[in-house]
Amino acid sequence: MADERDPRTYTIIGAAMEVHRQLGCGFLESVYQEAFALELIEQQVPFRREVELLIRYKGRVLETSFRADFICFDSVIVELKAIVALTGIDDAQVLNYLKSTGYEVGMLLNFGTPSLQHKRLVRSSSWKSSRIDPQISQSDAD
């Protein structure tokens, strides 16, 4: 399981902080997605963008699928938002992405507030023991 000082999530948060520092809040999510991709390239973070996530039901793949904003380091799902505040619905979205992929770590990054909000969600091998880090971290957008 990922440690609190996971270098992958630390690097992802750093990239998001740089985007927020440069752009501030107020843009559409698509602007932050494009800028975040550029920042990941600059920081040499391997990523895939707009990744289709298949959903299985009783061993069969459903026609309906999810699309993750980013998968970084081939192991961390990253979902970007540009909203007033993160909610339980946003948490559930990332937890469902983790469940469908089997990945253990997801990140929610919200650029819609004066300070960047970031939240790390961790899914263990036992779905019942999944957890959300206890608080939303807010980073000053100097």
Rounded average pLDDT over 77-86: 97
Q: CA-CA distance, 71 to 103, in Å (whole number)?
A: 10
| Contact present, 116 and 141 (Cβ < 8 Å) | yes
Give residue 4's pLDDT: 60
Cross-strand pairs, 57:
60
Do residues 77 and 67 make contact, with C-beta atoms less than 8 angstroms apart? no
Confidence of residue 3 (pLDDT cuts 50, 70, 90): very low
Residues 95-103: what's their mean pLDDT? Answer: 90
Given a contact cutoff of 8 angstroms between Cβ atoms, the answer to whether 107 and 78 are in contact is yes
Mean pLDDT of all residues in 108-132: 79
Enter the pTM of the model. Answer: 0.84
Rounded distance, CA 112 to CA 114, Å?
Answer: 7
| 3-class DSSP state of 120 | strand
CATH number for the domain formed by residue range(s) 7-130: 3.40.1350
DSSP string, 53-107: EEEEETTEEEEEEEEEEEEETTTEEEEEE-SSS--HHHHHHHHHHHHHH--SEEE
- Find the mean pLDDT for residues 129-141: 44
